[in-house]
Structure 1
């Protein structure tokens, strides 16, 4: 009976026992350095994106304030009740109120126009010839503005 055995010497050439060569190590290290070199750019982009969001929030606030100032100046009547601002203008009732995390505007109790986003809390307070708005957003920023109406000025000049 003959026994055949496989020689270990023949199978060794199929395995690479040389190890990790210097050329392979340099190639892997260069790829690693290439990937790591993009990290500062990535972090810079993240930081600029956060600053951009802050600028957009401030811009949104200024646009909202200008819009509500114009509407308040043209209003015939101003009422503050239940932390809502109610304006009467040309026979229409305009209402500013909170809806979720948004401040919305409604005309004649219809519609749903979002005028400010990411609102945590706000308060309308009546002042002489206008309204004071104090607002806190979800990011912890506090805003405050005094909004004046021309209603009393028109009445003052009409009586003279």
Structure 2
């Protein structure tokens, strides 16, 4: 009769019916305990991404004001608002409650920037200096040059 011998180097089905061994459980716990803090650190660093929404919105407002001033024929700086004369209309830009609004011929209500604590402007010999204080107390300033 031929006798089958098991070869140790050949693949055999696992016949472990006793469950997990102490060594396999220890290895699994070691892997979990080393990767879990790294995973928590990665999640924490994702939540720390800075939010530049305020800076971007104020920068966009400054760009808009520059474009409006460039295409204006006449610029009048009053105590509480700027009046820009463009072709057939007069555009006023002023602070209203906590926002900066734009009106065309004293009608409408276009919101240009929100969450504003203070909006001031000064007439310069070469243009206008705008200063914005947002609701967090940060101050942003920009000088816009007239183009004749």
After TM superposition, the score normalised by the length of structure 1 is 0.63
Q: Structure 1 residue aligned with 2:62, among 36, 61, 65? A: 65
* Corresponding position of 2:93: 96
Equivalent positions of 1:6-85 (< 5 A) are 44=45, 46-48=47-49, 51-52=50-51, 55-85=52-82
Mapped to 1, the partners of 2:42 and 2:98 lie a distance apart of 34
Q: CA deviation at 1:83?
A: 2.2
Mapped to 2, the partners of 1:46 and 1:97 lie a distance apart of 36
Q: Deviations over 1:89-136 (max 9, x none)?
A: 102111111111111111111111111111100111000131110111
Closer, same or farther: CA 45–99 of 1 in aligned 2, 3 Å: farther
Q: Does 1:148 align with 2:145?
A: yes
Q: Structure 2 residue aligned with 1:121, among 118, 122, 125? A: 118
- Which structure's residues are more often helix, by fraction? 1
Instruction: Between the two structures, name the one with larger relative contact order (CA 8 Å, sep ≥ 6).
Output: 1
The number of residue pairs the alignment matches comes to: 113
In the TM superposition, structure 1's runs of 4+ consecutive aligned residues that sit over 2 Å from their partners are 37-48
Over the aligned positions, Cα root-mean-square deviation in angstroms equals: 2.0
* Corresponding position of 1:131: 128
After TM superposition, the score normalised by the length of structure 2 is 0.68
Query: Where does structure 1 lack aligned partners over 5 or more consecutive residues?
Result: 1-36, 152-160
